Structure formats: structure tokens, C-alpha cells
Amino acid sequence: MVLIKIESLSQKELEHIAIQEGVQDAASLSREELIEILRDIYDDERDDEAQGGEDNIQRRFVTWLTDYRGDGSEVTSLPGVEDLPELYPETSIHVMMKNATWLYCYWSLSPLDVEKIEEEHGRFSTFLHVELKDGGLLVDSYDISVGNDDVEWNININANRGQARVQLVLETSDGKRLTVAQSRPVTLVSCYWLEHAGEIAQNEDLLRRELGLITNREGQILTCETVQLIVQKIEKEGVR
């Protein structure tokens, strides 16, 4: 279910939703009148749900196409809504940080580029080539084999400083490696406590507070490579 704040909708969108809700002469009503009518409709529905014993979810205004009432077959009739393309016309790759140890990567391979490469080189395999740099110097690089139909990947990284860049690489049947796209560099997250484990090891209050943030209800430290490295460094400082 998608929650929509009704005040953010345009006049045309409000009219469209009002028509779907059975409001008469919706096209002749002002924006303020449409908002008030739709607000009354959804408030009445919420009251009915509460009286029926169902969970009274604190939801804001939900349109006919995002609620349970529709099957979504008429979604594209809403003004400004278009179908997403199955394929994108350009070859590109993009990377973003998920957290301190994981990158999220997504890409598209143009059908025209695929056709041209297959004509010139035959079949190919797809790889992600990851480069980690610190101060402009290459500190690590490696390939990740992905499927030709894949369009996204999570990449584990073992670095807490510098930058990461990912290339979309095709290895052809004749042995050539073609770099068809390259992401913009992403600045890696620097972990302060990984470099200053001594500070937290010597301060019991600080240690308890920080460990409380990464400990689950069973008292176990959350599974995270960076966290485990910090714990190991703290243990070396004599705190257990």
C-alpha cells in the first residue's frame, strides 16, 4: 500500500481520484472542495474499519489505484503516470553506499550495444570490475561475475576510506575484455572507532553506550564485518 499526502496532489490528480470515488461533477469543483470531500471519504472508511474491529492503521489518504480496491490495471490513466520501459536505451552503471561495508550497484546494457558486440565478437560474459583507491593510489581491485540478465548487485568491500568505482565489463568469446560503462567514484565511509579503538576501550561508559547500539535483544553483537573488527581491536586493548 502506498501512502499519499492528499495536499501534495495536483488539481488534475484530485479530480481523477474523486471520479474513481464516485464524486459527482468532480471536474467542476475547486481544489479545496476536492480535498475536503476526499478527506471525508477516507475518514469515514477509517471509522468503519475501527468499528469493524480491524486494526486502525494511522494511514493518510490512499488513492483507488494504490489501495486494495483496484487491481492496478488502470494505473497509467492517472495524469503523469507512464509505464516504465523494459529496457533503457543507454549503457550505464551506477553505485551508491548502503552502509560501511556494502555498495549497491545497478546498471543497464543497451540492446543496440549488445547487438553490435555480438556481431563483432560473438557471445560474451558479464563482470563487474571493482577498484578501491585511497589518495589516488589503487589499493585493491577484483572482478565479480554476474549473469547477462542481471541488472543489480550488492558488493561487499573491505575498506573504510578512499573511493570505490565499478566498471561494467564484457568478456567476449574471442578473449577480449570490453569496458562498456564506468560508475562515478563513491566516497567510502570512514569508521572513526575502527581507527580509535583505544579511546572506547579506556572509557567504560562510552563502551557500554556504543555497544548498546549494536547489540540485539539476546545480547549478541550484530553481524557486521566492521563491527567485528572494532571489537577485535578493543579486545586487544584489554577490554572484554
* Helical pair 11-20 and 31-51, crossing angle rounded to 10 deg: 40
Same domain, 19 and 33: yes
Q: Which of 125-129, 131-135, 143-147, 159-163 has the lowest mean pLDDT?
A: 159-163
Q: In the structure grid, which three cell numbers stand for residue 118, read together? A: 555480438
pLDDT in tens, 155-180: 988 777 789 999 999 999 888 999 99
Q: Is residue 83 part of a domain?
A: no
Same domain, 212 and 163: no
Give the domain extent around 231: 192-236
Q: In the structure grid, which three cell numbers stand for residue 168, read together? A: 561494467
Same domain, 196 and 227: yes
Band of residue 183 on the pLDDT scale cut at 50, 70, 90: very high
Same domain, 100 and 172: yes
Q: Is residue 169 part of a domain?
A: yes
Same domain, 214 and 172: no
Helix (H) or strand (E) holding 156: strand 152-156
Same domain, 126 and 200: no
Average pLDDT over residues 84-106: 81
Helix (H) or strand (E) holding 96: strand 92-99
Contacts of 13 (CB under 8 A, 6+ apart): 78, 79, 80
- The residue among 236 and 187 whose pLDDT is bigger is 187
pLDDT in tens, 17-34: 888 888 888 889 998 898
Number of domain units in the chain: 3
Q: Which of 192-196, 202-206, 229-233 has the lowest mean pLDDT?
A: 192-196
Give dist(CA 94, CA 185) in Å, integer.
9
